[in-house]
Structure 1
Amino acid sequence: MRNLPLPARSSLLPALLAVAGLLCPLDVARAAPQAAPATPAKAALEQPGWKLAPPKEQFEVEKVVDGDTVHILRAGKLEKLRLNCVDTEEKLATNSNDPTKPSTVFGEDCAQWAAKFFADLAEPGQKPKVGLLFANGMEERDVYGRLLCHLILPDGRNFNLLLVELGKSPYFNKYGNDLVCHQAFVDAQARARKAQKGIWDPKTNVPTTEGAPSARRPYERLLPWWDARATAIDGYRAAVKKDAAHVAAADMPHELERVLETSAKGEDVEIFGTIQRIFREDDGSVTVLFRTGDKLPAFRAKFAREHVGSFEKLKLDQRDDEEFVQNYLWVRGRVVKGPRGFDMSCDDASKWRVAGPEPIEPAAAKR
């Protein structure tokens, strides 16, 4: 994504934003603009399901990339943040052709709105400041190295939740239901949809003249898919909590190390994850590479040539990061340390199972 620099807090800001607005065609319907007052009334501060608490430690905002990605200065270093459980639409400049996340006019609007929102937080002559909140108090990063977090505003509001309340973003639970305030997100999205705010406005991103940008994100299909994945992840969370010695996620090396010890005792363990790629080796065997973070040791499930028939029965290639199907799987067996991570030999299709429900078809989805 192209970085959107944080606007200077000056009298030129409205003019600059007006010029930026010209980048988006005027003949495309937009959601009604929602201002970000610097000192909202007390009633406006309330967020149902969220307890307002100003952050004890605050960090300067250095750059606003878009609605869900912000850069801050922390411990003297630039830290890139990816906000948990939100996923704003792509800006026009990204030229995204991904049908599940295309570049949209509303994505451009949201990026500009976010830049102004944070600029308005700043005290005269200073940069805006925010606090960070991590699920279970643990810092985690995405595959791009960005710090995953909730961003807490100086007045105690949860900015992630605010994006959903305003219809700037859906509740993005593709990678699991939020561990901080799941129900608050669910309720906020329901209210935003009922009020047809932002992305839920039927007129948003709908062109009024031929040739204008017309991409729209297919939320009617995305939300059931994300919910199905979140249900699978809930199952994993419950399983590892109940029996951590026998359960591990493929993208959690410390959990794989733990079940490695269990396997060494001659006991089967279960691995949870999604497929990154399937390799048909020159010797006739098949290797199923599970998804993990960049530069982390990976987990591989291997079918020897004589057991490839079992692999074919599973039809795993239909779940190889495909959209709108359940992607998460469980595989049972014994883990050993391999030359490039962790390996498991597979000889029986019955040791594999889909980890959660399939997404409900849009026509049947009750939302």
Structure 2
Amino acid sequence: MDIKNSINKIFSIQILFLLLLTVVSGAQVVDSNLIIGEYTISKVTDGDTFRFDGLDAPTRLLGIDTEETFKDKNAREKSYEISLDWPREYYLIQSQKKNGFPVKCDSPFGFETWEWAKDFTKDVTSVRIEKDDTTRGMDAYGRYLVYLMMKKDGKYVNYNLECVRLGYSPYYNKYGNSKRFHKEFIEAQEYARKNKLGIWDKKNKCYPDYDKRIIWWNKRASQIENFEKKFATFENYFNLMNDGEYERMSKYIGKEVIIFGTISEILNQKYPILLRFSIRKNVNFDAVIYEENESLLNDLNIDEIKEYYIYLKGKLTEYNGRLQIVLNEKSQLLLD
């Protein structure tokens, strides 16, 4: 009987330990390497653009992409004017894009989102700025890629998630799923959809093609996941989004490599034609097409594939301090 009681006691202690472990693990503990610091907001530029006192670089908020808005002193009047015939203005701009992918432009709802952001942050005492992971801290424009943990009434609120939950932005995973809050973003978006909030309310004058955008962004996010699962550990594969990859790649000059990234710009005003991949501010990688191979531009359907992540393979060379691969064949550039 004593042995049985002892076993039951040990079992109860184990169960209690597991319950305590679950509670502890359920509370998020933020890695100090992910915290950039605590700052105060100096300016709300629009729904997803803020300036902070003392921060040494601008920010790009992860997981959200609010609509654009007029920002001058007549912003309210201009927003009202385009609202009278919305979404005609959007479709006029959309028609000018050759490949048919969704565009960004000033919208009535963009102004409404800006107004909400200013109101939401007016009682914020401080903001803890956090990164998603340690593999990529800045984008190609020199902006910190961050979440904003805003302190309101003594508690921290994830502004990025609130934007999605209240319908002021979709879950924006065009540059990859959130490493820390993917599940929460999905749930927040479903909540906003179900309750017809913000962009999910057909009465609001916002972009009319969010379903199309989400299909496009999800495909890009899945491309990143596929690369990370299949090739992240291969020495001659390079993900141009990640910090340090360009420097690591410089050790492979003269060797065959495979590059994973997106074309940010096509420079075709003179020869050679350059398909430019932006790494970070003032640092780029080029795929080079010489005049005799100009037909590759049409063969590759560049206008479409530049909207997705691609694999570029070939011999790595250097020209004027910039790393590059010369494109001679269509097979060198692959869309996952």
Question: Shorter-normalised TM-score: what interval?
Answer: 0.7 to 0.9
2:43 matched residue in structure 1: 63
1:168 matched residue in structure 2: 168
Report the Cα distance in structure 1 between the residues aligned to 2:139 and 2:42, rounded to whole angstroms.
20
2:135–2:243 contact (8 Å) kept in structure 1 = no
Q: How many residues align?
A: 279
2:164–2:189 contact (8 Å) kept in structure 1 = yes
Report the Cα distance in structure 1 between the residues aligned to 2:213 and 2:158, rounded to whole angstroms.
24
Q: Check 1:143–1:262 CA distance in 2 against 1; reply closer, same or farther (3 A cut).
A: closer
Report the Cα distance in structure 1 between the residues aligned to 2:145 and 2:185, rounded to whole angstroms.
17
Amino acid at match of 1:273: G
1:84 matched residue in structure 2: 62
1:112-151 aligned within 5 A: 112-121=115-124, 128-137=125-134, 140-151=137-148
User: In structure 1, which of residues 232, 253, 258 is the aligned counterpart of residue 223 of structure 2?
Assistant: 232
Deviation at 1:161, TM superposition (A): 0.7
Report the Cα distance in structure 2 between the residues aligned to 1:221 and 1:134, rounded to whole angstroms.
28
Amino acid at match of 2:218: D
Deviation at 1:52, TM superposition (A): 6.1
User: In structure 2, which of residues 263, 266, 270 is the aligned counterpart of residue 277 of structure 1?
Assistant: 266
Let me know the Cα RMSD of the aligned residues. Answer: 3.0
1:243-262 aligned within 5 A: 243=234, 245-250=235-240, 254-262=244-252
1:131–1:152 contact (8 Å) kept in structure 2 = yes
1:25 matched residue in structure 2: none
Report the Cα distance in structure 2 between the residues aligned to 1:58 and 1:335, rounded to whole angstroms.
42
Deviation at 1:145, TM superposition (A): 3.0
Secondary structure of residue in 2 paired with 1:334: strand
1:1-367 aligned within 5 A: 51=27, 58-74=38-54, 77=55, 79-93=57-71, 99=94, 100-121=103-124, 128-137=125-134, 140-154=137-151, 155-205=155-205, 216-243=207-234, 245-250=235-240, 254-264=244-254, 266=255, 268-275=256-263, 276-279=265-268, 281-282=270-271, 286-296=273-283, 298-308=284-294, 312-321=298-307, 327-355=308-336
With normalisation by structure 2, the TM-score equals 0.72
Report the Cα distance in structure 1 between the residues aligned to 2:48 and 2:227, rounded to whole angstroms.
26
2:64–2:164 contact (8 Å) kept in structure 1 = yes
1:139–1:147 contact (8 Å) kept in structure 2 = no
Q: Check 1:79–1:302 CA distance in 2 against 1; reply closer, same or farther (3 A cut).
A: closer
Secondary structure of residue in 1 paired with 2:268: strand
Deviation at 1:157, TM superposition (A): 2.5
1:17 matched residue in structure 2: none
Report the Cα distance in structure 1 between the residues aligned to 2:269 and 2:44, rounded to whole angstroms.
43
Report the Cα distance in structure 1 between the residues aligned to 2:141 and 2:204, rounded to whole angstroms.
30
Q: Check 1:171–1:145 CA distance in 2 against 1; reply closer, same or farther (3 A cut).
A: same
Q: Deviations over 1:162-199 (max 9, x none)?
A: 11111111101111111221121112101210111111
Q: Which has the higher helix share?
A: 2
Amino acid at match of 2:109: F
Report the Cα distance in structure 2 between the residues aligned to 1:150 and 1:253, rounded to whole angstroms.
18
Report the Cα distance in structure 1 between the residues aligned to 2:134 and 2:279, rounded to whole angstroms.
22
Secondary structure of residue in 2 paired with 1:140: coil
Report the Cα distance in structure 2 between the residues aligned to 1:184 and 1:175, rounded to whole angstroms.
17
With normalisation by structure 1, the TM-score equals 0.67
Secondary structure of residue in 2 paired with 1:135: coil
Secondary structure of residue in 1 paired with 2:167: coil
Report the Cα distance in structure 2 between the residues aligned to 1:67 and 1:220, rounded to whole angstroms.
20
Q: Check 1:240–1:151 CA distance in 2 against 1; reply closer, same or farther (3 A cut).
A: farther
Deviation at 1:62, TM superposition (A): 1.4
Report the Cα distance in structure 1 between the residues aligned to 2:27 and 2:163, rounded to whole angstroms.
17
Report the Cα distance in structure 1 between the residues aligned to 2:149 and 2:61, rounded to whole angstroms.
11
Report the Cα distance in structure 2 between the residues aligned to 1:200 and 1:231, rounded to whole angstroms.
24
Deviation at 1:340, TM superposition (A): 4.4
Amino acid at match of 2:118: A
Deviation at 1:253, TM superposition (A): 7.5
1:30 matched residue in structure 2: none
Q: Deviations over 1:299-339 (max 9, x none)?
A: 22224455555554323244345xxxxx2211111212221
